[in-house]
Amino acid sequence: MGCAFCGIKDERIIRDTQNTITILSNPYLVEGHSLVIPKMHVQRISELTMPVAYELFDEVVRMQNMVLERLGAPGCDIRQNFRPFLPDSRLKVGHLHFHVIPRYKEDELYLKSMIYEKDVFRELQDEQSRLIMERLR
Ligand SMILES: [Zn+2]
Write out pLDDT tens, residues 113-131: 877 888 888 899 999 999 9
Q: Residue 95: pLDDT above 60? A: yes
Q: Residue 1: pLDDT above 60? A: no
Question: 95 CA to middle of ligand 1, Å?
Answer: 5
Write out pLDDT tens, residues 21-52: 999 999 999 999 999 999 999 999 999 999 99
Question: 94 CA to middle of ligand 1, Å?
Answer: 7
What average pLDDT is seen over the chain? 93
Question: 87 CA to middle of ligand 1, Å?
Answer: 15
Residues with CB under 5 A from ligand 1 (ion): 3, 5-6, 41, 95
User: What is the DSSP secondary-structure string of the chain?
Assistant: ---SSTT---TTEEEE-SSEEEEE-SS-SSTT-EEEEESS--SSGGGS-HHHHHHHHHHHHHHHHHHHHTS--SEEEEE----TTSPP-SS--SS--EEEEEE-TT-HHHHHTGGGHHHH--PPPHHHHHHHHHHH-
Q: Residue 132: pLDDT above 80? A: yes
Question: 22 CA to middle of ligand 1, Å?
Answer: 14
